[in-house]
Amino acid sequence: MVADAALVSARMKDFAPAPADIAEQSAQFAAHLADAVIPEGDNAHSGQDGAELAAALAGLQASAGLLEPFLSTGHPDLQAGLGQSFAALSQRIAALPADYRETPRADRAALAAGFTQLSELLREANRAMGLEA
């Protein structure tokens, strides 16, 4: 087991995602949230989807932050669009009821549309930088 852990550790150190993967995988995750998680919720028993969506958004924002040096110089309008998208989604998530099961369908649809827009902006970032996956 120790040998297996050492092997996994060595492989992880050698793992270097391609630059295009940062935005593309984030875009795929945002689209997944919009299409599969937000409409019905993910935790039917606890209703704590709002907290999980906030954590997911924070992770997406951290990934997008890695693109900031490239976008702010060459594509400041796209960087601004990402910032506005993250801010709007953060506000929508903060406004969710404590129990996600009480979130009206219209609010869920608006939240899903916001994550879809974020997904599209992240894919546009790759195109803008010439890094289409």
> N- to C-terminal Cα distance for the chain?
36
Q: Is the separation of the CB atoms in 100 and 93 below 8 Å?
A: no
| Residues in contact with 59: Cβ distance below 8 Å, sequence separation at least 6, in sequence order | none
* pLDDT for residue 65: 93
| Residues in contact with 65: Cβ distance below 8 Å, sequence separation at least 6, in sequence order | none
* pLDDT for residue 99: 93
What residue segments make up the domains of the chain, in order of their start?
21-128
- 31-80 pLDDT, tens per residue? 999 999 999 998 878 888 999 999 999 999 999 999 999 898 999 999 99
Quick check: helix, strand or coil at residue 2?
A: helix
